Amino acid sequence: MSIFQQPIATLAGEVTSLEPYRSKTLLLVNVASQCGLTPQYTGLEALQRKYEGQGFSVIGFPCNQFEGQEPGTAEQIQSFCSTTYGVTFPLMEKIEVNGAGQHPIYAELNKIADAEGYSGDIRWNFEKFLVARDGTVTRFPPEVIPEDPALVSAIEESLN
């Protein structure tokens, strides 16, 4: 089953899937509110605003698996993201990206290798997966910031 068919709830609790986004270029990111990388929300939102009119969307997947850095409720996460970073891109329910409780979307994504050849478990918050319209997936490690020229170039190529 593809990542687009897997059921997932939005942060507001509405059951959905990624199917409505199938025709778009997506940047899927496991996010956290109390992480040293949390300021990446600023860059993620900038990407959303710059490219959303061209068929692009960031989708955030809150995750509390890395040193408890996303402990909040859905309401707290939504409030933090919108108030602190002006986030307008979709946020899904808090999920596990590794281990026995791993969400099926991440069971598929974790099979993808990054440019250095790493595949497997998510290493930290803000690991990124660029899903092109043609279904090609490119993985970027957490340290790759949203403004990184390689990531921006990959987004722009997938939109053309």
What residues have CB less than 8 Å from 17, skipping those under 6 apart? 4, 5, 6, 7, 8
The CATH H-level (homologous superfamily) assignment of domain 8-159 is: Glutaredoxin (3.40.30.10)
pLDDT grade, residue 135 (50/70/90)?
A: confident
Q: Look at residue 15 and tell me whether its pLDDT is greater than 70.
A: yes
Tell me the CA distances in angstroms from 38 to 114, 116, 157, one per residue in order.
21, 24, 26
When pLDDT is averaged across residues 91-116 and rounded to a whole number, the result is 96
What residues have CB less than 8 Å from 1, skipping those under 6 apart? 104
Q: Look at residue 1 and tell me whether its pLDDT is greater than 90.
A: no
Coil, helix or strand at residue 127: coil
Q: What are the residue ranges spanned by the domains of the chain?
A: 8-159
**What pLDDT score does 160 carry?**
87
**What pLDDT score does 140 carry?**
97
**What pLDDT score does 53 carry?**
97
Note the pTM of the prediction, 2 decimals: 0.96
| Beta bridge mates, 84 | none
Structure confidence by residue, pLDDT tens digits, 143-160: 999 999 999 999 999 998
d(CA 18, CA 26): 10
Residues annotated as catalytic are: 35
